[in-house]
Amino acid sequence: MPQSIPPVVPNDGLTTRTRRDQPILAVHTGDGKGKSTAAFGMALRAWNQGFDTAVFQFVKSPRWKVGEEAAFAALASAHTDRGIGGPVEWHKMGQGWSWSRKQGAEVDHAAAAAEGWREISRRLAAQQHRFYLLDEFTYPMNWGWVDTDEVVETLRNRPGKQHVVITGRRAPQALIDAANLVTEMVKVAHPMDTGQKGQRGIEW
């Protein structure tokens, strides 16, 4: 698509601007590295446009400090203190869910994932954010912790102009079918193939 010109323009009665401004459901899947990294890049663009941004991490431990979290905390402060960019919220499954009353207690992972999805559904219905990043959300769907059909229906019917990006391996086909933008990361080579573990500045 050179110069962002679409190869096909549907005869749907919409103006170019209206069609361009439709909300996006994006899925980053596949076995290659970079799914979350690309999604956080999109979140950075959303922040720069002043969008209210919310990140929900479904697998990483609340105790695991990732580089993107620190960066977006700084961006959230920049918005609060200097009025630049947009507001940012960051939530992690289990003890990291800020709305949960189970703080400080061990929570069953499946129950925590279901609780997280219920809160996201509520926020989508209320149009609370403009940009949602559901990091590693394909896993709870594949493990049966949340109902894929319910997720797809909720995302298809979300009101307003709320963008949603979902990451994780083995995205369910129903989710892929519902998405506007699907990218599959294919592993060609990885340092772990030669015994090299993750390192600072690359994995976190």
Q: Give the 3-state secondary structure of 94-127.
A: HHHCCCCCCCCCCCCHHHHHHHHHHHHHHHHHHC
Mean pLDDT across 171-194: 93
pLDDT computed for residue 108 by the predictor: 82
pTM of this structure: 0.89
> 62 pLDDT exceeds 70?
no
Q: How far apart are CA 25 and CA 13, in angstroms?
A: 22
> 151 pLDDT exceeds 80?
yes
Residues 6+ apart with CB under 8 A from 66: 60, 204
Six-digit token pair at 73? 């905390």
Residues 6+ apart with CB under 8 A from 39: 26, 28, 133, 135, 165, 167
pLDDT computed for residue 146 by the predictor: 96
> 77 pLDDT exceeds 50?
yes
- Report which listed range, 53-62, 63-72, 165-174, is most confident: 165-174
Q: Which CATH fold topology does 41-179 show?
A: Rossmann fold (3.40.50)
Closest CA to 55 of 63, 185, 41: 41
Per-residue confidence at 197, pLDDT binned at 50, 70, 90? confident
> 109 pLDDT exceeds 60?
yes
Q: How far apart are CA 119 and CA 97, in angstroms?
A: 9
